[in-house]
Amino acid sequence: MAEMKTTADQVKKTYSTQSENLKVIRKRLNRPLTLTEKVFYGHLIDPENQNLTRGKSFLLLQPDRVAMQDATAQMALLQFMLTGREESAVPATTHCDHLIRGREGEAHDMSTALDENKEVYDFLSSVSSRYGIGFWKPGAGIIHQVILENYAFPGGLMIGTDSHTPNAGGLSMAACGVGGADACDVMAGLPWEVKNPGITGVKLTGKLNSWCSPKDVIINLIGELTVKGGTNRVMEYFGEGCDTISCTGKATITNMGAELGATCSLFPYDKNMDIYLRATGRADLADLAAANKENLLADGEVYSKPEDYYDQIIEINLSELEPHLTGPHSPDAAVTISEIRKKAEEGEWPLEVSAALIGSCTNSSYEDLAKAANLAEQAVKAGLKMKVPFFISPGSNVVKDTTERDGILEILQKAGGTVLANACGPCIGQWDRQGIEMGKKNTIVNSFNRNFRARNDGNKATLSFIGGPEMVTMIAFTGNLDFNPSTDSIKTPDGGEFRFSAPQAPSLPPKGFITDTSGFQMPEGKGVEVIVRETSDRLQLLKPFVPFKPEELKDMYVLCKAKGKCTTDHISPAGKWLKYRGHLENISGNMLTGATNYFTGEIGTGTNLLTGEKNIAFSDTAAGYRDAGHPWIIIGDDNYGEGSSREHAAMSPRFMGGAAVIAKSFARIHETNLKKQGILALTFADSNDYDCIEEQDRITLEGLDSFAPGKQLKAVVIHSDGSKDDMLLNHTYNDEQIVWYKAGSALNALRDANG
């Protein structure tokens, strides 16, 4: 089950089911199919009877694989232990990448991480081995890069407990970010349930000019569609421009489809994918894909009349794209490099850069590092050195060993770069940043994917801008955010003027990849003892949540009315809290610490209505309400829970006594996570009602006795002056999700079903 690479037998099985399913679907729909439909419907559990209404119905699917990273795997596997299953029902892997802090370089950082995280690694290694799950050790690589190199295959479907799982779409795999509870269900043998996605067709024409990279394609698209533009959608790329982008370049684009909130992103199967599969030791899968090609592309009529088959079409002429940066604080704040100076003046952003970082799961391919090194080499030859600290996070051991052999890392190091561990590090706040004062406004630039406030270095005053690794490398030499390589030059030490030439590098290593299997641990099964210390402050075995009775949801306090953006990073921040991802009680101390209080503008605090105290951390107030037997509510703005799949953002509120979140709208993954944990996820039928909620309000929920799909609930809101407002609430619960709610959580429902 848990091999080091996806096997030909697994792929054959998928392709055979896909073709059987598609025969049924073609009969039912009697029209050409998009690639998204071929892959999703090819994984349906019941193709005959499944409701196929796009954007409305929920699909029951059989994923081919589950992947988990170490921060989210802890809770996913703690939950799996509660299911009573003996082994994972589908191939699954755990990857140790998030807990390694970047500071001085690989050797130092790895040794610190192995020491600091020993008990978590011991737990993950033992629980994975016990339940038939492959385990990728710390330092083996970042989950998405390891998946692309070993497990992704065209036409496959996987779920991963990380929001950038869609990275595998670069190899035409439908790969979707989910919470640990979804992973737990699928490993327990249940189908994966997802809203039948709408489809945005993204037509790529032309060819990227020399200063642009795949990163500019996705930054441009996010800028256009915004962070909500892909919600409940698949971004399906097509057009001749696709063939001009390498497989790993496509993965950069699909990786950041997560920033659109998309279910996943898909490129049609092409020659570059074939080459990548062969280069990574999977010629057998390349042959199978070639033989199954008709199911790995949309039908021809879709490409000739896309407007008839996609819900929305965006066209991008690659030849006309300009290099972009995006930021600060939101990945959709895209700006072209020729506009950046003006924007910086308006936004009062320092143009002087204080650090530059490349790599991460998004941009750590051989091609990315080779192009960065090519630019660095040009500058070093001209006598230049990097002006700011420059860090490189290779995506995997394979990339690191290969780029080391080919002299790529050495060039970057000689130019002033520091090679960090093959891990997330600064991309997820695991950056022990030196030489910068907390609270000091400063600008950094990186080739990562997310730039929410404080995400990289824990400093809320840091302005983080994202760009392609080539732009980031050039900026490291100039020290200025507004450097434009097509017009600007740099003064050399001998008084000359240096201009970069467009980077030249192969997309794959001419001498082949170095593969190293030492980072993988095969599972052993039943005899293995799972290691959790009772006194641990990092791991805690779970207890099932107790369901709420309808009569308990009366006169509830509003714990927090969140104003504006409230992402999962705001609800359950990472950084120093990553440490407690396997300890629900301890991590709940971070609950809502990044949320902006609508009433006061403060961040992370509000009034405790039981005691009347002000400026109290939301988590402390929540604990007080819970211990006094008062369920409470969160009020959310638009796209509440945007960002990541972390179910802690739902589990902590549940653990602390939260009964419901009522928002203007939800991000898809978070909405599902709330449902799974037994918290009501509701939206205002009239979004203006959001404005009517006041700090001292008490809210009663009505209609739960007859909770049913499509039937509205009601909030009766009593204001402090005694006046009352009735607000209708919508929800997207289906029958099964209502069973979860009534059981107290999806996991309880699963245990109940097992008897």
Q: Which residue is catalytic, options 97, 185, 457, 689?
A: 97
Q: Is 644 in the active site?
A: yes
Question: Among the candidate windows 142-150, 513-521, 605-613, 691-699, which touches ligand F3S by CB under 6 A?
Answer: 142-150
226 binds ligand F3S (CB under 6 A): no
Q: Is 726 in the active site?
A: no
Question: Among the candidate windows 113-121, 137-145, 616-624, 720-728, which touches ligand F3S by CB under 6 A?
Answer: 137-145
Nearer to ligand F3S, 148 or 427 (CB): 427
Query: Binding mask 449-488 vs ligand F3S (x if CB under 6 A, - otherwise)?
Result: x---------------------------------------
Nearer to ligand F3S, 420 or 475 (CB): 420
Alpha helices in 30-142 (DSSP H): 35-41, 70-83, 106-116, 118-130
Is the omega angle on the peptide bond into residue 328 within 30 degrees of 0, that is, cis?
Answer: yes
**Short-list 557, 562, 571, 657, CA closest to 611:** 557
What single-letter DSSP state applies at residue 501? P
Pick from 140, 204, 427, 445 the residue near ligand F3S by CB under 6 A.
427
Q: Per DSSP, which regions of 686-752 are E strands? A: 698-702, 713-718, 724-730
Nearer to ligand F3S, 97 or 109 (CB): 97
Which residue type sits at 35?
Answer: L
Query: Binding mask 92-111 vs ligand F3S (x if CB under 6 A, - otherwise)?
Result: -----xx-------------
Pick from 76, 127, 184, 428 the residue near ligand F3S by CB under 6 A.
428
Q: Is 668 in the active site?
A: no
Give CA–CA dist 587/448, Å, rounded: 25
73 binds ligand F3S (CB under 6 A): no
At 233, which helix (H) or strand (E)?
Answer: strand 233-238
Q: Which residue is catalytic, options 538, 646, 648, 670?
A: 646
Give CA–CA dist 704/610, Å, rounded: 26
- Number of amino acids touching ligand F3S (CB under 6 A): 13
Answer for the pair 132, 1: CB distance below 8 angstroms, yes or no.
yes
Answer for the pair 316, 324: CB distance below 8 angstroms, yes or no.
no
Pick from 37, 109, 149, 162 the residue near ligand F3S by CB under 6 A.
162
Give CA–CA dist 328/445, Å, rounded: 10
Backbone angles phi, psi at 411, to 5 degrees: -60, -45
CB of 13 vs ligand F3S, minimal distance in Å: 28
Answer for the pair 298, 268: CB distance below 8 angstroms, yes or no.
yes
Residues 436-455 binding ligand F3S (CB under 6 A) are 449
* Residue-wise DSSP of 493-548: TTS-EE-PPPP---SS-TT------TTEE----TTPPP---TT-SSB----PPPPP
392 binds ligand F3S (CB under 6 A): no
Tokens, residue 650: 């739902």
Give CA–CA dist 719/737, Å, rounded: 31
Q: Which residue is catalytic, options 125, 213, 644, 652?
A: 644
Pick from 61, 142, 204, 622 the residue near ligand F3S by CB under 6 A.
142
Q: Which residue is catalytic, options 64, 70, 109, 162?
A: 162
Q: Is 646 in the active site?
A: yes
178 binds ligand F3S (CB under 6 A): no
Nearer to ligand F3S, 380 or 427 (CB): 427
Nearer to ligand F3S, 98 or 250 (CB): 98
Answer for the pair 267, 155: CB distance below 8 angstroms, yes or no.
no
CB of 115 vs ligand F3S, minimal distance in Å: 21
Give CA–CA dist 593/621, Å, rounded: 12
CB of 580 vs ligand F3S, minimal distance in Å: 17
Contacts of residue 49, defined as CB under 8 A and 6 or more positions apart, other chains included, come to none
Nearer to ligand F3S, 213 or 378 (CB): 213
Helix/strand/coil for 261: coil
Give CA–CA dist 129/141, Å, rounded: 19
**Short-list 326, 38, 79, 347, CA closest to 187:** 79
Nearer to ligand F3S, 482 or 642 (CB): 642
379 binds ligand F3S (CB under 6 A): no
Give CA–CA dist 249/230, Å, rounded: 20
For the four alpha carbons of 673, 676, 680 and 683, in that order, the dihedral sign comes to positive
Question: Among the candidate windows 122-130, 140-148, 288-296, 710-718, which touches ligand F3S by CB under 6 A?
Answer: 140-148
Q: Is 401 in the active site?
A: no
Tokens, residue 560: 């927090």
361 binds ligand F3S (CB under 6 A): yes
Nearer to ligand F3S, 38 or 144 (CB): 144
Q: At what angle do helices 668-677 and 180-187 cross, to 10 degrees?
A: 70
Q: Which residue is catalytic, options 450, 581, 648, 731?
A: 450
Question: Among the candidate windows 374-382, 401-409, 421-429, 465-473, which touches ligand F3S by CB under 6 A?
Answer: 421-429
CA angle 79, 748, 189 (to 5 degrees): 60
CA distances from 665 to 9, 662, 685 (A): 42, 8, 10
What single-letter DSSP state applies at residue 102? B
Pick from 38, 164, 400, 563 the residue near ligand F3S by CB under 6 A.
164
Question: Among the candidate windows 16-24, 86-94, 420-428, 645-653, which touches ligand F3S by CB under 6 A?
Answer: 420-428
Nearer to ligand F3S, 164 or 453 (CB): 164
Pick from 161, 252, 360, 378 the residue near ligand F3S by CB under 6 A.
360
Residues that bind ligand F3S (CB under 6 A): 97-98, 142-144, 162, 164, 360-361, 424, 427-428, 449
Catalytic positions, written as ranges: 97-98, 162, 450, 644, 646
